[in-house]
Amino acid sequence: TLNILPTLALGLLLAHALERPRGPRWPGLGVLLLALLAHPWLMFGAAGVLLPAAFVQALRRPRYAWPWPPLLCLLANYWPPLYGDAWRGDVFALAVVAACALAPLVGISLLRRPLGFAVAPVRRWAYGFYPGHFLALTMLREYLR
């Protein structure tokens, strides 16, 4: 698959198209069609492209659109062996599936409520987060086995 940047770029374009409801529909439809055609090569597939737009809708229409981010997050992270392990009750797999379902809801709730503390700007200190979270997940998996 391609790296995450094409998925994020298409997701941004689709979310932007949804932000402008009175604008032309063809850019959003074009991005959606491209995401569906490029699904096998996109990291997290078409569901990953739809996820930013789902968040936009969930923030704009919290009553009706909140189920879409968790569902799309589960679809974007679908991996048959992991979901099979979760079905059989594997604790690590269940934790990963639960995190996929709950993380979007936690993120939306954090965006909707003001924080009582300042958040540090993302600078060089955050470069280690992406590989660091994979290391933490690997350590957790080894610990639970």
Q: What pLDDT sits at residue 36?
A: 93
Q: Are 8 and 35 within 8 A, CB to CB? A: no
Question: What distance in Å separates the CA atoms of residue 6 and residue 10, rounded to the nearest whole number?
Answer: 6
Question: What distance in Å separates the CA atoms of residue 17 and residue 112, rounded to the nearest whole number?
Answer: 22
- What is the reported pTM? 0.76
First to last CA, the chain: 29
Q: What pLDDT sits at residue 87?
A: 94
Question: What distance in Å separates the CA atoms of residue 37 and residue 66, rounded to the nearest whole number?
Answer: 26
Question: What distance in Å separates the CA atoms of residue 51 and residue 67, rounded to the nearest whole number?
Answer: 11
Q: What pLDDT sits at residue 137?
A: 84
Instruction: Going residue by residue through the chain, which has 145 residues, state the pLDDT in tens, using 9 for 90 and above.
Output: 788 889 999 999 999 888 877 778 788 889 999 999 999 999 999 999 999 999 999 988 888 888 999 999 999 988 889 899 999 999 989 998 999 999 999 999 888 888 888 877 888 878 888 889 889 988 988 887 7
* Secondary-structure breakdown of the chain: helix, strand, coil percentages, each rounded to the nearest 5: 75, 0, 25
Question: What distance in Å separates the CA atoms of residue 39 and residue 1, rounded to the nearest whole number?
Answer: 9
The structure tokens listed for 116 are 């009582």
The structure tokens listed for 27 are 């850019």
Question: What distance in Å separates the CA atoms of residue 70 and residue 87, rounded to the nearest whole number?
Answer: 18
Widest CA span in the chain: 53
Q: What pLDDT sits at residue 50?
A: 94
Contacts with 105 (C-beta within 8 Å, 6 or more apart), sequence order:
66, 69, 70
Q: What pLDDT sits at residue 61?
A: 85
Q: What pLDDT sits at residue 100?
A: 92
